[in-house]
Structure 1
Amino acid sequence: MVNHSVIEKLTLEQIMSERFSRYSKSIIQERALPDVRDGLKPVQRRILYAMNKDGNTYDKGFRKSAKSVGNVMGNFHPHGDSSIYEALVRMSQEWKIREPLIEMHGNNGSMDGDPAAAMRYTEARLSKIASEMLRDIDKDTVDWVPNFDDTENEPTVLPSRFPNLLVNGATGISSGYATEIPPHNLSEVLDALIYLQKHSDATLDDLMQFIKGPDFPTGGIVQGLDGIKKAYETGRGKIIIRSKTDVEELRGNKTLIRVSELPYEVNKLQLVKQIDEIRINKKIDGIAEVRDESDRNGLSIAIELKRDVDATGILNYLFKNTDLQINYHFNVVAINKMRPERLSLKEILESYLDYQRLIVAKRTKYDLDKAMARQHIVDGLIKALSILDQVIKTIRASDNRKDACNNLISEFDFSEKQADAIVKLQLYRLTNTDVVELQAEKDKLSADILEYNTILNDKNELNKVLTKEFKDIKKAYGNDRLTKIEAEVEELKISKTITVPEEDVVVLVSHDGYLKRSSVRSYKASEVEENGLKEDDYPIFLEQMTTLQHLFMFTNKGNLIYRPVHEITDARWKETGEHISQTIGLADDEEIMKVMSFKTLKETGKFVISTSDGYIKQTEFDKLTPGRNYRSRPAVFEKLKDDSANVVNVDYLEDANANPNVFIASNVGLATCFELDEVSYSGARSTGVRSMDIRDEEQVVDVQLVEQDDKVGMITQRGFYKNMKVDEVPLASRARRGVQVLKSLKKNPHELVDFVKLEKATDSFNPIRVFTNRRRVHDIMPGDHPVNDRQSNGSAVMDVDAEGTPTSMAVLHPEVVANIK
């Protein structure tokens, strides 16, 4: 007969879906996820069963690991020997397993991530507590299935007389599922089980009176009670695990941070390397040396600090930037009733309790059947001894053993099993003593049978048996908690003094937008003019600062660029530095018009901001503090009403209650003066209030904060300069038209370009630098010019045909350059 193949037409989607489903089910159930009942993956279960079956237990000598691996691979787990050996080694590593199930002689790896020695060199056996995983397995307590080649049977689950899933935890990744279950304290889990047995309606809070949280074999400190509670409630949650550290005082005002416990599964060698790289790269200043001083007495990492440094600050930085502190994410997924499920704490405990009740019931039923079978035999033996002469006579008259059994059954009504036992009875037992022993055995069997029946028929009695066994296990194997639980997650505050070494630097910002910081040594080794800028570029800010200070750069279009000094490009004084457009783009007509430095970002002063279209406002310092995107985008400090308008000045007053006068002038030579209190406070993205009444084609050229006895210096478009007292302009209200401060001319009248408040350095006024539209500069010494009245146009100081038309002016501070140390 010819066999014809049947070809099915299936879509790729159907084929892939069906095949992948089968594959996923296989790796979920047969490889990656633990069973909620015994907390073991198949390879772990097979290792424990095979070693127990082979007699490789705690009360016998060690055997080569290779023998155990070969036994498992040949009989139960037809996969690579490396995966079996890795699973065996992990079950022996006391820094990964809270209660190791394997004892090993030889190198079984280390917390530094070193691999174990090859299996031909190491020896292994089951640990004592592992015997509790396998106890009662020979009493029909678990289901069995054929192994991969049908030559023998293997258990689908181990009796697991303690809750291994919670005690030792689990980690694994499968298709579509992953699990991350932390280890717990054996005593705590058993106490919770005992409580749950008596209080089936127990809440999570009730259970957490016993199970405080994870108990990692490496100790450490767990922070975040809310995360623990959420994980126990939903199967998902996050906690913080922190190393246990102590700060020790050394001679010479030095300190040492001693790390004695690490977070779970942190590689010690990599951690030491992380800390040493921070020291080498000088990410923080203060670590002198880091040493791994671990020995047979325990883990110890020594972080030696330099003299007079903030040990707490450095420790906080290390917590935040190294594995001295890690996040641990619960993902409690296990196989429950043949399906992967995310389980709560109570669900795990309930599933385990149900399983253990079933184990005790099956074991008791096994013991009951065995006791009843023995009782039946004992009854037969007692009866036989009571009619011993007739029994012997019958046996002697029989032809053979089978005939003897048949004769006993027919003549004395013995059962087949009783007759067989009588025939096997040895002559030395035919004494009065043996009758007494048999009667005693019968009495004991009767009592046992009564007890077994009571357990099987009364749930309370079964629970009492289970409770007693839990208490016995706790007494035999319980130990103290290793991990400390802290309710709150500590916020790590890291001072800039820790992350940035304080250093004196010279900071320069140029008119064209270049900025840099140079060491004082580099600055002093060069001429001031050799600043690396282009020929027609010039500094608008030059100051000695520290790397812990802050720089605010205000543009004429109302944008604020912030830079911590330590983030500014470090360059030699003769180098150009970085252009601000490398990180922040500016408009074509936008330029930096004012630069200010601050020691902290917690100043309590205020800014006074003025615009060319006649608006002014006061803004508190904290309204302009930088946001998190300061590196890539500027912040708005002034909202301009018109695209043609500009910010003409930004002043800062340290005293928020200060009330100077506001001196303001327009390009048509009008000026007014009013008190600052008339200007209201408003936020960064506001325009402000009217400062001056200006008409079409007019604009404010500048605004200065002055006192009545101050003087101002003015420059016109024709290159005329004059000094004038502030009190020449009467004090008025805000938003007035103002009075004339230039003499009116019918032909080629003067227009005011800019003015500055004259500042004294010592006995004379600081020089003034005038900038022209040809990128030329002209310096003026105010003391060389008389003080003019309001109707004067001053005197000519510049040849505008040769130097260009003035555009702005600024007060120079030669003492700043001279005072750079």
Structure 2
Amino acid sequence: MSSDAPDEFEPGSGIAATVENARIEQEMEQSYIDYAMSVIAGRALPDVRDGLKPVHRRILYAMHEAGVTPRTSHRKSSSIVGETMGDYHPHGDSAIYDALARMAQDFSMRYPLVDGQGNFGSIDGDPPAAMRYTEARMDSITQELLADIDKDTVDFQPNYDDRKREPSVLPASFPNLLVNGSSGIAVGMSTNIPPHNLGEVIDATVHLIHNPDCTVEDLMEHVKGPDFPTGANIVGRNAVHKAYKTGRGRVRVRAEFEVEDDDRIVITELPYQTNKARLIERIADNVNEGKIEGIRDLRDESDRDGIRVVVELKRGANAEVVKNQLLEHHLESTFGVINLALVDGQPRVLTLKETLAEYLDHRRTVVRRRSEYELAEAEDRAHILEGRLTALDNIDAVVETIRNSESRDDAKAALRGEQVAEVDGEPLPTFEFSEDQADHIVAMQLGSLTSMEAAEIQSEYEDVQARIDRLNEILSDTSELDAVIEEELLDIKDQYADERRTSFIEDTGNVTHEDLIAEEDTVVVVTEEDYIKRMSLDRFRAQRRGGKGIIGTELKEGDRVSSVFVASTHDYLLYFTNHGQVYQLKTYQIPEMSRTARGKSAVNLLDLDDGEEITAVVNCTDIEDETDKFLTMVTREGYIKRTSVDNFQNILSTGIIATTLDEGDELEDVEVTDGERDLILATREGMSIRFHEDEVRPMGRSARGVRGIKLEGDDTVAGVAAVDEEIHNWVLTVTKNGYGKRTDIENYRPQSRNGKGLIDIKTNERNGPVCAMETVGYGDHLFVMSSDGQIVRTPVEDVSTVGRNTMGVIVMDLDAGDAVASVDVYNEERSTAVDADADADAEADDDAETDGEADTVELEEIDEDDVGDITTEGLEDGELGAE
């Protein structure tokens, strides 16, 4: 058996000579790059020149070739898809039809390129009807993309099977990439270009023609921002500016809506590419899940005239809060701008100026090639007209030459001067017409020999010659070329431009959790075991003094209320503790609960140590944007200090030191002052001292302070109040056993710091030690809460106005074993005018009270220098006096 194989293998010979070694990682890398570039250039990214992907370009060119123009009847979509797929785009009919349908959707395209007839989908996410049911044709503006395509303005390339040729780009008489935008996902990159207003983009292009060195900011004077087909609002301009300057940005788009009659929210415009039906479904789901509260009904009343989604609110619902909830979850979206397009076949991220500059370069090429094409045609026509005019000038000789020629070809040859015609042996005049001229002269009809026809030929020749001169001018002068581009752009603007649909609104920041909370005044309760909660202030109506009040909180066994205060849900509060620490918390972060609820452990909100209790609360709205205010703090042992609010700007979640305390001392109270106030310190045994705050120099947070009042025996400080004589009329003192009184501020004469002070209230076993002292004015309401959780709200005018050295009247009727735990003052509406009869009316009301409380008896006038010598020995209840 014989074999053709060599007896011995020779490396590098035979078939082995054609084999090349390659590293697999390099081969895979190069193959993937080739595939990626094929996807990028041939499928996913638009061309910067005409703003179209290949599939869109092929659809429009197939319609152009088939004569499906705006002036013809609609053609079945299946026919257009079939011709596109058969001749230019063999990638499946569904992909082609999807692209065709999108170009017909007025909610997807700012200026639709296809005029559709039938169901091409909806903003509710409904898909288009099958292609056999819909019809389409070019829209009017599409002609501007294809204009002059037959004048050698763009390059053509073979189609997929070399049977036909297709354009590699369209002439594009307007910057379609910006006008209609584009989106697509390639391999390793994506593009997302928003649509814009045609008039604005053309104005910017014209500006760039005249000012090639202009900046993006200059162009933004014309292009305000994206202009979405669905309208809505762009929030702020910074993101738009960044997108135009870098090619990338994140633009926030907010729905257009309004609150009608405070009981409904009507949505009339949606962010771009928002599915309306899905949006309504998600809102309904959130309402059912309790994520959005206050919505009673949800209706879609949209029709062909526009979008109208009605959100009906429940009675009493806060429309502002519901609006913010809808904004946070549904009515605002982000459009991520990625201005990526193909430039010379390569993907590039472009700025606004670069995008327009690339388009202008393309348009200059198109107009130049068109002018060259038209110039060649005009010169050919002028050449023919010159021959005809020459023939008319020598008509007799030309006619004789043609008549005496044996054939048409001989006549043409004679006219070209290639042979001589004779008549009776005599040669006729010779001519030197070109071949084209001779062809036209031989084909001339006798009717063209009339003088009128001759004049028309002369006129046409002059027009053609003028056209030639103009085209030569355009081709030789770039400014004339740009003038043509500008003129054509402005003509398109006049014909197709419309008003902006998308507006700009001020960027007030993202919707925060605070925006989702109704702003209302609340009552906050804190217990000794650090349970905390808030309740709506509306749950506590004002009562006359002396009542028991209503339940304010349930308490754990052994627990007692330590403090109560009133604050708005949107207020930032500073919480000062007995250990000298300060914490910061928003009121709405405190859980809202019913009056009978215990509350939530404060350790979940504030990092309190064992035995640490909240003793004072300061509302940050009182010190917001104020650099000349102070936090004035007093301790139980009588120390006082002032610290600038600047030292409390950055409070950690674990709190910071507000003041240093001596061993056994505790922070008792904090007041906001401005350096111009008098301060009044009160002690538990009824003493008080008034002095100007400038007697206490400003100190740092770590300072202990200076002595504010000299305490006798086991007495301790109960609180501090600042005097604002414009709004404060009285000093209000409340004791542990529920007694209280008002005293005119004038009765507290200023002294020097660190004195014994004056008597503020007479204390004994009946009314108990002082619990709180506040400066109050007209319209103030007093909130008193007992240790057992009862709470009473009383206008301060209901509390009698008496002298300093009295016991007061019953403010709160306490059960046995109960005591006042905390007092806060809330100003409902402070009057600017002082009612001259207010005191008399208040005293008359007190005299009319017959609830069993002790009547108030004023002491005789006391020499204030003898203060401290007053005793209560031997006094019976209701018989107050002075020795």
Structure-2 residue corresponding to 1:391: 402
Q: 1:149 to 1:373 in 2, by over 3 A?
A: same
Contact map agreement 1:554 1:594 (CA 8 A) in 2: yes
The structural deviation recorded for 1:24 is: 3.6
Find the partner of 2:654 among 634, 638, 643.
634
How far apart, CA to CA, are the structure 1 residues paired with 2:818 and 2:640? Answer: 22
Match of 1:335 in 2: 342
Is 2:617–2:670's contact at 8 Å kept on the other side of the alignment? no
Q: Report the AA paired with residue 650 of structure 1.
A: E
Structure 2 CA distance for aligned equivalents of residues 558 and 125 of structure 1: 79
Equivalent pairs counted in the alignment come to 702
Residue 161 of structure 1: CA displacement? 0.8
1:373 aligns with 2:380: yes
- Say which of 669, 688, 691 aligns to 1:651: 669
Structure 1 residues 346 and 95, CA, compared in 2 at 3 Å: closer, same or farther?
Answer: same
SS of the aligned residue for 1:140 comes to coil
Unmatched tracts of structure 1, length 5 or more: 666-671, 693-699, 714-730, 739-756, 769-776, 779-809
Q: Which secondary structure does the structure 2 equivalent of 1:334 belong to?
A: strand
- 2:21 & 2:129 partners in 1: Cα distance? 52
For residue 702 of structure 2, the aligned residue among 683, 686, 695 is 686
Note if 1:263 corresponds to 2:263: no
1:812 and 2:819 matched: yes
SS of residue in 2 equivalent to 1:367: helix
Tell me what 2:423 maps to.
Answer: none
Q: Counterpart of 1:346?
A: 353
2:68: which partner in 1? 56
CA drift at 1:154: 1.6
Deviations 1:648-682 (A, max 9, x none): 333234777453448799xxxxxx99989565544
Shift of 1:498: 6.7
Displacement, 1:459? 2.9
User: How far apart are residue 580 of structure 1 and its match?
Assistant: 4.3
SS at match of 2:679: coil
CA distance in 1 between partners of 2:95 and 2:310 (Å): 36
What is the rounded CA distance, in whole Å, between the counterparts of 1:268 and 1:647 in structure 2? 64
Q: How does 1:353-372 map to 2 (within 5 A)?
A: 353-372=360-379
Instruction: Name the stretch that deviates more: 537-546 or 472-481.
Output: 537-546
1:499 to 517, 534, 545: 517
Contact 2:327–2:511 (CA<8 Å) still a contact in 1? Answer: no
What do residues 437-459 of structure 1 show as CA deviations (whole Å, max 9, x unaligned)? 66665454444333332322233
Map of 1:633-782 to 2, 5 A cutoff? Answer: 633-638=653-658, 648-653=666-671, 657=677, 659-661=679-681, 680-682=697-699, 685-689=701-705, 704-705=718-719, 764-765=767-768
Amino acid at match of 1:297: D
In structure 2, what is the equivalent of residue 45 of structure 1? 57
> Relative to structure 1, is the Cα distance of residues 539 and 325 closer, same or farther in structure 2, using a 3 angstrom cutoff?
same
Give the whole-Å Cα distance in 1 for the aligned partners of 2:665 and 2:162: 89
- Conserved? CA contact 2:44–2:184, under 8 Å: yes
TM-score in terms of structure 1 length = 0.70
Distance (whole Å) between structure 2 residues aligned to residue 180 and residue 211 of structure 1: 18
Structure 2 distance, partners of 1:814, 1:661, is 19
* CA displacement at 1:55 relative to structure 2: 1.8
Partner in structure 1 of residue 90 of structure 2: 78
- How is 1:148-167 mapped onto 2 (pairs within 5 angstroms)? 148-167=160-179
Contact 2:681 2:717 in 1 (8 A): no
Q: Which moved more, 1:341-350 or 1:758-767?
A: 758-767
Q: Aligned AA for 2:77?
A: S
CA deviations 1:175-197 (Å, max 9, x no partner) are 45443333222223323333443
Alignment-mate amino acid for residue 103 of structure 1 = D
1:64–1:122 Cα contact (<8 Å) kept? yes
Aligned to 1:803: none
Residue 633 of structure 2: which of 608, 631, 637 is its match?
608
Residues 634, 719 of structure 2: 8 Å contact kept: no
- In structure 2, stretches of 5+ residues that fail to align are 1-12, 420-430, 541-549, 624-628, 709-713, 722-730, 737-750, 772-786, 789-816, 825-883
Q: Residue 201 of structure 2 contacts residue 222 of structure 2 at CA under 8 Å; is this kept in 1?
A: yes
Distance 2:74 2:762 in 1: 91
Match of 2:476 among 446, 452, 457: 457
- Match of 2:371, SS state, is helix
Determine the C-alpha separation between the residues in 2 that align with 1:448 and 1:181. Answer: 40
Residues 410-464 of structure 1, C-alpha deviations (whole Å, 9 max, x = no match): 42766555566677x4878786589736666545444433333232223343333
Could you tell me how far apart the structure 2 residues matched to 1:497 and 1:489 are?
15
Instruction: Give yes or no for contact 2:372–2:475 (8 Å, CA) kept in 1.
Output: yes
1:10 to 8, 23, 27: 23
Taking a change above 3 Å as real, the CA distance of residues 581 and 8 of structure 1, as seen in their structure-2 partners, is: farther
Tell me how far 1:159 sits from its aligned partner. 0.2
Is 1:214–2:222 an aligned residue pair? no
Name which of 498, 501, 510 aligns with 1:482.
Answer: 501
Q: CA deviation at 1:764?
A: 2.5
Letter in 2 for 1:372: E
Residues 54/448 of structure 1: CA separation in 2 closer, same or farther (3 Å cut): same
Separation of aligned partners in 2, 1:530 and 1:97: 60
- Indicate if the aligned counterparts of 1:662 and 1:675 stay in contact, CA closer than 8 A: no
Question: How many angstroms apart in 2 are the aligned matches of 1:706 and 1:431?
Answer: 119
Distance of 1:570 and 1:600 partners within structure 2: 20
CA distance, structure 2, for counterparts of residue 77 and residue 270 of structure 1? 33
2-side partners of 1:521 and 1:337: how far apart?
A: 70
Which residue in the other structure is 2:569 paired with?
548
Tell me, yes or no, if the aligned pair for 2:50 and 2:177 is still in contact at 8 Å: yes
CA contact (8 A) 2:681 2:690 kept: yes
CA distance in 1, matches of 2:596, 2:682: 40
Structure 2 partner of 1:748: none
Q: Considering only aligned residues, what root-mean-square deviation do their CA atoms show, in Å?
A: 5.2
The whole-number CA distance in structure 2 between the counterparts of 1:576 and 1:180 is: 54
Q: Distance in 2 between matches of 1:762 and 1:3?
A: 119
> Identical aligned pairs, as a percentage?
35
Residues 180, 489 of structure 1: CA spacing in aligned structure 2 closer, same or farther, 3 A cutoff? Answer: same
Measure how far apart 1:361 and its partner are: 1.3
1:30: how far off?
Answer: 2.6
Give the TM-score, by structure 2 length: 0.66
Alpha-carbon distance, 1:129 to partner:
0.5
For 1:494 and 1:530, the matched residues in 2 are separated by 30
Q: Mapping of 1:445-594 within 5 angstroms?
A: 445-485=464-504, 488-490=506-508, 499-500=517-518, 507=525, 509-511=527-529, 513-515=530-532, 531=554, 533=556, 537-541=558-562, 548=569, 558-561=580-583, 564=586, 566-569=588-591, 578-582=600-604, 590-594=610-614
CA distances 1:529-566 after superposition (whole Å, capped 9, x unpaired) = 99574x6x523447597883877665565544555555
Say which of 112, 117, 120 aligns to 1:108: 120
Give the 3 Å change call, closer, same or farther, for CA 673–415 of structure 1 in structure 2: closer
Letter aligned with residue 21 of structure 1: I
Q: Distance in 1 between the 2:139 and 2:477 partners?
A: 34
Question: Match of 1:659, as an amino acid?
Answer: L
Find the aligned partners of 1:733 and 1:205 in 2 and give their Cα distance: 63
CA distance in 2, matches of 1:679, 1:763: 35
Indicate conservation of the 8 Å contact 1:509/1:540, yes or no.
Answer: yes
Do structure 1's residue 28 and structure 2's residue 50 form an aligned pair? no
User: In 1, are the aligned partners of 2:525 and 2:561 still within 8 Å (CA)?
Assistant: no
Does structure 1 retain, via aligned residues, the 8 Å contact 2:699–2:705? no
Relative to structure 1, the CA distance from residue 691 to residue 605 in structure 2 (aligned partners, 3 Å threshold; closer, same or farther) is closer
